[in-house]
Structure 1
Amino acid sequence: MSSVYRPREPVDVRLTLGPLRRGAGDPAWASSPDGSVWQATSTPDGPATLHLAVRRDGIHATAWGPGAERVLAGTPDLLGARDDPSGFDPSLHPVVREAHRTRQALRIPRSGNVLESLVPAVLEQKVVGLDAKAAWRRLVLEHGTPAPGPGPRTLRVPPTASAWRAVPVWDWRRAGVEEARAGTVLRAATVASRLQEGADLPLEEARRRLLTVRGIGPWTVAEVASRALGDADAVSVGDYHLAHLVGWALTGRRTDDAGMLRLLEPWAGHRQRVIRLIELSQTARAPRFGPRMPRALPLR
């Protein structure tokens, strides 16, 4: 199945979808030399593969698998159709103004798939990002399924809720995931349908449902809200690096969570948008704040 999405404003597909991809080795995503993007995903109708290619007449979306119709219908939301930048004033700070000037086609995505954003966020709790990405890659390769259609051979559909519940304890340990994070994923997978219902409810209700799962706190909720729910105001309070990065970018000094929230207050309603612009434009320039955390070894 195929369709053409013609957004009212330009959309940078790769920048917009960047937060959904967990590193270059994420088995659920792939890029082609022509710049097109592949995604493998699970839907209530079954697995699906989505291919997005930017052409002169719009963004061409092609999908395969039982969930093809659903992912095509969700393509506009995935590419930020619900993202409303009105009221956002990048001129309030020169760093934000310059970042926005060169990235005006950035949108806040809304995948609508709560579990597929939640699991990697849980894996990222209190560990080195490289370890979390490696754990996600290993678990998706071992417990996901081949993507339907003619996509890259390495493309895999992430596990469904039932498949996450069936992951044996030794596979969690080989992936470096200890009991606390594995338990959180299992508890979330048990109530996945209730969490998924939140995607069609007011944002505050979706957040409340996520917080009812033991092991999920405000940081994880913000990570999910900014990806699955299209929350342009989400702020991941408690992140090891984010407050320092925002403080350095906006004041030249590192800060804490309270300081970060004060700095972002002028952009209330668009704080996630500002964070994305800062991450894209300043991460490579920022000084390292403290020593690197050591890489983890597989748990036994």
Structure 2
Amino acid sequence: MSGRPGASRRPGDSVEHAAWPLDRAMDLQATLGRLRGGSAPTRWLRADRALWVGSRRSGPATLGLRIVDDSVLAVAVGDGAAEALDNVPTLIGLDDHHRQLFEVHPPALARLARRRTGFRMGATGDLSGALFPAVLGQRVTAGEAHGSWTALCRDLGEGAPNDPSLNVLLGEAELPTLLVPPQPRVLARLTAHELHRYGVDRSRGDLLVGLARRAATIDALVTLPPADVRRRLMTLPGVGPWTASIATRVALGDPDAVLIGDLHLPSTVAWALAREERADDDRMLELLAPYAGNRARVQQLIKSTRIRAPRRASRYKPLPIASM
């Protein structure tokens, strides 16, 4: 579905409205949560309402979304409001569906796919913006990566556009103060010493800055098929399969961008699909082979539940890089 049915444009105004019909349930928190990890200053999520902040070609925008009856209502504020509304169907995966998995084996996976139709694989369309947090997630825990990106957003981001119409739409007297994520040109100027204060080591920091300097070239890849984008990204030094798959999942909604190199995911997938307590990437890929074309969707569905393989070892405790 494309376009903005129900949109009302007021000349010279930076506040725009739109609405789309829903043919089944939607969970905004589950759908949008996977697109931006733990960067709380740039989004506010509930199952039936959300705030999403980002930059478009025409400028920054704050997007408010709310599920009401059988529709999703939207208000966008800021110079990029019109573009933000145009991207809503893609962002929330309005036409995305798990029906390809409704009759698969094991039956437990099919039941999960039928039960989790409120979760969609949406896409931001922002490839460089997906790469930056992914790079920070290399070789560290999710908590460390989210903490670094959140701190960068707070210190280097810009105040998000705001308007009372957002409060009206969301039915909230007070909303959190949100931020536009740092622009590539800002990240491109960071030094290794500055990034160290955010818990980012030299290797990840150099890669982050290098990608920020090439953001325009990277963003031009979004017109290519996801598999081609992954291959192009992996030609960049420091970008491996894990980072490239995260980026295409988030930016392109790539349903087959299978994640390899994750510490716990292989065992989680093996436990869910075969009741095997331990697995490596090779075994996970064997188990996911029957779902080719939807391997990322299967991984994401499993990850969205509380399914976890039994853990025997003590949990990893990260060392604070910034204090070294």
Checking the alignment, whether the CA contact within 8 Å between 1:244 and 1:289 is kept in structure 2 is no
1:99 maps to a residue whose letter is L
State the Cα distance separating 1:9 from its structure 2 match: 4.1
1:159 corresponds in structure 2 to 182
TM-score relative to the length of structure 1: 0.92
Residue 118 (str. 1) matches residue 131 (str. 2): yes
SS at match of 2:318: coil
Structure 2: gaps (5+ residues): 1-15, 167-174
Task: Give the Cα separation in 1 of the matches to 2:290 and 2:228.
Answer: 25
Give per-residue Cα distances to partners, 1:96-136, cap 9 Å, x unaligned: 12322321222111110112211111101010111111101
Greater length-normalized contact order (CA 8 Å, ≥ 6 residues apart): 1
Checking the alignment, whether the CA contact within 8 Å between 2:192 and 2:206 is kept in structure 1 is no
1:176 maps to a residue whose letter is G
1:6 corresponds in structure 2 to 21
Count of residues in Structure 1 that have an aligned counterpart in Structure 2: 297
Residue in structure 2 matching 1:178, options 181, 201, 206: 201
Task: Give the Cα separation in 2 of the matches to 1:11 and 1:57.
Answer: 9
Task: Give the Cα separation in 1 of the matches to 2:36 and 2:216.
Answer: 23
The 5 A counterparts of 1:150-299 are 150=163, 152-253=175-276, 254-283=278-307, 285-288=308-311, 290-297=313-320, 298-299=322-323
Task: Give the Cα separation in 2 of the matches to 1:106 and 1:118.
Answer: 22
TM-score relative to the length of structure 2: 0.86
Give per-residue Cα distances to partners, 1:227-281, cap 9 Å, x unaligned: 1111111111111111111011112222111110110111111111111111122
2:117 corresponds in structure 1 to 104
* Alignment root-mean-square deviation, CA: 2.0
Distance 1:221 1:289, change over 3 A: farther
The 5 A counterparts of 1:138-157 are 138-150=151-163, 152-157=175-180
Residue in structure 2 matching 1:29, options 31, 39, 43: 43
Structure 1: gaps (5+ residues): none
Query: Which piece of structure 1 moves more, 148-157 or 209-218?
Result: 148-157
Task: Give the Cα separation in 2 of the matches to 1:111 and 1:58.
Answer: 21
1:75 corresponds in structure 2 to 88
Structure index of larger Rg = 2
Distance 1:233 1:90, change over 3 A: farther
Distance 1:154 1:186, change over 3 A: same
Residue 49 (str. 1) matches residue 62 (str. 2): yes
Checking the alignment, whether the CA contact within 8 Å between 1:131 and 1:296 is kept in structure 2 is no
Give per-residue Cα distances to partners, 1:126-152, cap 9 Å, x unaligned: 101111111011011001111111464
Task: Give the Cα separation in 2 of the matches to 1:83 and 1:31.
Answer: 20
Distance 1:170 1:198, change over 3 A: same
1:40 corresponds in structure 2 to 53
